[in-house]
Structures are given as structure tokens and as C-alpha cells.
């Protein structure tokens, strides 16, 4: 992971902030957050008032992923009332510093995965807040399935009918399957069964849902909460959105898979949206796709074991399928 091994110094951060602020501030602190193959994140404290922002930076001075994420978050903030960090500044020119970077507001609080254990009442209250927030996001629609750029082309008003959901999700799942295959963590029987399962998506996902904007990556590590001295939890917002137009079930299934929310979430969500009949069965198919993605992304044996077990269970429940 040498691509993100450069040192994030106070002088480098001050130069990056100067393009946004108009002058180089005094950088008081740098707390490293997340590091991936192509970028790292840091919580920056600067200036006499000890203001804080989030900096995301990549070694490549023209890193398109930094720019795409910035544009995605800006679009989602402007198009919906879904709580996300505000994008302050983004530079892909390499002229300010020899790296690509983006500056975001810092949501108050901590990620839910780092928060103190909440009381049952506080947890239910948080789930209700999240249910209302996700329901609001899911009101935004597009003419096509896919990423924001794919679903909302410049001629969106004249775009043809949306691709059927089963086909788009089949293509996504097969891409994930091939990426998981490359890790060599899954046996051929599991891979073949998952491939045959995907071929039956037209029957399994017999729906004409409208492409719906989803976060696509909600889990305890992408939820930011502010817990007060009395243990009450206020939802500050969400971070790291994938931002795609999909079937809203895909979002709900991911929340179920990782046990991110409880019944109170779904009570609030159903106040705004109906959940289609059969979701309780279809969610297991979404889980197969999600676990294949986890295997591909992280290459961990525990994800591979979970994927194999789930594929076998689905295969048995469906009585075996023909290719």
C-alpha cells in the first residue's frame, strides 16, 4: 500500500488549506482516520479558534476518485436533505500541493462503531432518526439505474425507460463474483452456484421499481452520532456514500445484513415508503451479492466462509437451480 505511505505533515496540510481559506493557517493537530489503497483521511485542527475539518488526500495529483466522491457528496447534499458533510474545497490540479485532495466539514460526534453503548431507549431513538433520514433520501428518483453520472446524464429529461432492476443488479453481481473469484478464496462450486443464481434474477426480482437514490454503504462505521452526557444520541449524519440509483431494497438488505438498525428504523421508514411483498425472501439474494463484494474488496477468509454458507443455504431453499 505504498501509494498512501507519504507523510502528512503540518506544512503540507497548511498549504492545502490555504487554497480554500486564502491564507495558510496554523495547523494544530492531525489525526489520521482511514487509509485505503489510494487515499487517506485525517481530522485536522487549525487556527486560533481550533476549527476542525476532514481532509481526504491521494498521492496522485489527478486522482479521479477524490473528485468523484466530492461531486457525489455535493450532488446528494443539494438534491436531498440527507445529512452528509459539506464539501468545502477540492483540487485535482496538483498545483497547490503535489497531490489530489478534498476538504469537508466535520460532523459532530463519533462514528457509531466508536460510540459508547447506548441504552435501549437511546438506541431506538437513533434508529427512528435514521429511518426518517433514509426515507427522505429514497424519495429522490432518476430515469436510470447506476451511478449518479450514469443515471442522470445531461439529457436526463429525454432519457429512455429505465433498465429493469433485475438486469442491472445481475450485471453488478456478476462483476462482484468475478472480482471475488480473483481472490481464490471461494471454491468453484460456490462460484458456480452464485452464477446460476444470478441467471435467475429476472424471476426473483420481478419488479418495475423506479431507480431510487441510496447511500449504498450504511453501517456502524459510516454513521456519525453525537452522544450527550445523559446518553441521548443525536444523528449528525452519514459519511462515505456510494451514491447510486438502485432498488431501495438494496439499502434495506444491507442494513439487515450488518444488523445496523432495529425495528424502530423500519417503523419510521414505512411511514414514507411501502416495502414490497417478498422482501423478507429477496434480502438473502442481496446478501449473497454483498458478501461477494466483501470478499472482493477485503480478501478475508471470514467473508468467504460467510458467502459460501449463504450461497449453500439459498441454493437449498430454492431446491437447486438449473443454469
Query: Would you say the C-alpha torsion 276, 281, 286, 291 has a positive or negative sign?
Result: positive
Query: Distance between alpha carbon 264 and the CA centroid of its chain, in Å?
Result: 22
DSSP string computed for 140-163: -B-SSSEEHHHHS-TTGGG--PPP
Paired strand residues for 58: 100
State pTM to two decimals. 0.93
Neighbouring CB atoms inside 10 A of 90's CB total: 21
CB atoms within 10 A of CB 323: 9
In angstroms, the CA 118 to CA 124 distance is 9
Q: Which residues pair with 42 in a beta bridge?
A: 32, 55
3-state SS class at 95? coil
Instruction: Quickly count: other Cβ atoms within 10 Å of residue 52's Cβ.
Output: 16
Report the alpha-carbon distance of residue 130 to residue 255 in Å, rounded.
11
The label of the residue with cell 468545502 reads 88
Check: CB of residue 304 under 8 Å from CB of residue 183.
yes
Gap between the Cα atoms of 99 and 92, Å rounded: 7
CA distance 176 to 45: 39
CA distances (Å), 274 to each of 93, 135, 178, 224, in order?
A: 45, 10, 34, 27
Using 70 as the pLDDT threshold, list the residues of the chain that sit under it: 1-5, 37, 153-162, 323
Cα gap 310→313, rounded to integer Å: 5
Domains of the chain (ranges; CATH) run 2-105 (3.30.200.20), 110-317 (3.90.1200.10)
From the list 252, 238, 250, 240, the residue with the least C-alpha distance to 293 is 250
- pLDDT for the residue numbered 290: 98
- At 185 the pLDDT is 98
pLDDT score recorded for residue 299:
95
Amino acid at each position: 500500500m505504498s501509494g498512501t505511505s507519504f507523510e502528512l505533515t503540518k506544512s503540507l496540510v497548511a498549504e492545502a488549506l490555504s487554497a480554500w481559506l486564502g491564507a495558510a493557517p496554523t495547523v494544530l493537530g492531525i489525526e489520521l482516520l482511514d487509509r485505503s489503497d489510494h487515499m487517506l483521511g485525517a481530522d485536522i485542527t487549525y487556527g486560533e479558534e481550533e476549527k476542525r475539518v476532514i481532509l481526504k488526500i491521494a498521492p496522485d495529483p489527478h486522482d479521479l476518485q477524490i473528485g468523484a466522491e466530492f461531486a457525489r457528496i455535493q450532488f446528494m447534499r443539494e438534491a436531498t436533505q440527507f445529512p452528509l458533510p459539506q464539501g468545502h474545497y477540492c483540487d485535482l490540479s496538483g498545483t497547490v500541493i503535489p497531490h489530489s485532495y478534498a476538504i469537508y466539514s466535520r460532523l459532530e460526534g463519533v462514528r457509531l462503531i466508536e460510540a459508547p453503548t447506548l441504552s435501549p431507549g437511546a438506541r431506538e431513538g437513533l434508529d427512528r432518526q435514521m429511518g426518517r433520514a433514509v426515507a427522505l433520501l429514497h424519495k429522490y428518483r432518476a430515469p436510470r439505474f447506476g451511478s449518479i453520472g450514469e443515471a442522470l446524464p445531461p439529457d436526463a429529461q429525454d432519457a429512455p425507460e429505465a433498465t429493469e432492476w433485475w438486469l442491472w443488479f445481475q450485471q453488478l453481481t456478476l462483476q462482484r463474483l468475478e472480482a471475488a473469484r480473483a481472490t481464490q478464496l471461494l471454491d468453484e462450486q460456490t462460484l458456480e452456484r452464485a452464477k446460476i443464481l444470478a441467471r435467475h434474477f429476472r424471476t426473483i426480482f420481478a419488479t418495475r421499481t423506479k431507480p431510487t437514490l441510496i447511500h449504498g454503504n450504511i453501517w456502524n462505521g459510516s454513521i456519525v452520532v453525537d452522544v450527550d452526557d445523559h446518553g441521548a444520541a443525536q444523528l449528525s449524519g452519514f459519511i462515505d456514500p456510494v451514491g447510486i440509483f438502485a432498488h431501495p431494497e438494496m439499502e434495506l438488505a444491507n442494513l439487515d445484513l450488518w444488523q445496523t438498525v432495529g425495528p424502530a428504523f423500519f417503523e419510521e421508514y414505512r411511514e414514507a415508503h411501502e416495502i414490497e411483498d417478498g422482501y423478507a425472501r429477496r434480502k438473502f439474494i442481496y446478501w449473497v451479492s454483498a458478501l461477494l463484494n466483501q470478499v472482493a474488496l477485503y480478501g478475508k477468509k471470514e467473508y468467504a466462509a460467510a458467502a459460501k454458507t449463504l450461497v449453500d443455504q439459498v441454493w437449498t431453499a430454492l431446491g437447486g437451480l438449473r443454469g
